[in-house]
Amino acid sequence: MGKEKTLMLKKKKKEEENKLHTEYGIINNVGYMLKKVKEYKPILLLFMGMGIISHSLMSYLWTFISKFILDILEAQSSTGSTDITPLLYTLAWVAAVEFVSTGVNVLTDNKCWWMMILVRLRILTERVAKMLSLNYQVLEQPDILDMSQKAANAGGSNDQGLEGMLHQIYSIGANVLTFIVTLTTISVLDIRLILILAVISFLQFLF
């Protein structure tokens, strides 16, 4: 443990001594990636927005639909009606909404993944072009080589670095929207029910 800490301190000190090293926060990195998406593939922002909404919708779709169907059955039971036309209309709407939502999910996921790869490759092209434009003597400097290696590492994977950040933006966006909808929904519930849900969520987090 002490050895790992020592190595981390040495690495940190080396970065501080490197005049070319710059620290960027998560906000700056997200802004940079969205700027590059807008530059190289603006339509990706549209597909990401559609995907965020459709994924969030699918989280609640069957909850609301099930409640709606139960309300119809309960209303028919209380009136003694045997007319199943309202139920058939509801099932038809359910099938249509499910079909559209699933289609949008498939479309956005299939479009987003290759567009994210394209943006990453365009950024890698920028890096290569910049390296090729440098003087050969500059390329022999350790600090330059270190920065070049870090840039290569940032763009060398689908799940990490540049493209990984786009995937996280996409995923977190859907989760944030779902959270907002959930918070809005439970805000109209009884405070005791909200406390029970909070306790259950906390226990699930612990165990």
List pLDDT tens digits, range 3-48.
555 555 455 555 555 555 566 677 888 888 899 999 999 999 999 9
For the whole model, what pTM was predicted? 0.68
Q: In which band, very low, low, confident or very high, does the pLDDT at 115 lie, cut at 50, 70 and 90?
A: very high
Q: What is the pLDDT of residue 63?
A: 67
DSSP conformation class of 31: H
- 3-class SS of residue 21: coil
State pLDDT tens for residues 153-182. Answer: 777 778 888 888 898 899 888 888 887 877
pLDDT at 58 over 90: no
Structure tokens at 158: 């689908």
Specify whether the CB–CB gap between 26 and 148 falls below 8 A. Answer: no
State pLDDT tens for residues 80-99. Answer: 666 677 777 777 887 788 88
Q: Domain segments of the chain: what residues? A: 26-176
Q: Give the integer Cα–Cα distance in Å for 31 and 43.
A: 17
Beta-carbon contacts of residue 48 (< 8 Å; ≥ 6 apart): 108, 112, 169, 170, 173
Q: In which band, very low, low, confident or very high, does the pLDDT at 195 lie, cut at 50, 70 and 90?
A: confident
Tokens 């090729």 label which residue? 132
Specify whether the CB–CB gap between 151 and 112 falls below 8 A. Answer: no
Which stretches within the chain are classed as H helix? Answer: 2-17, 26-40, 43-79, 85-133, 136-139, 142-154, 161-186, 191-206
Structure tokens at 126: 């920028």
DSSP conformation class of 187: T
The residue among 168 and 205 whose pLDDT is bigger is 168
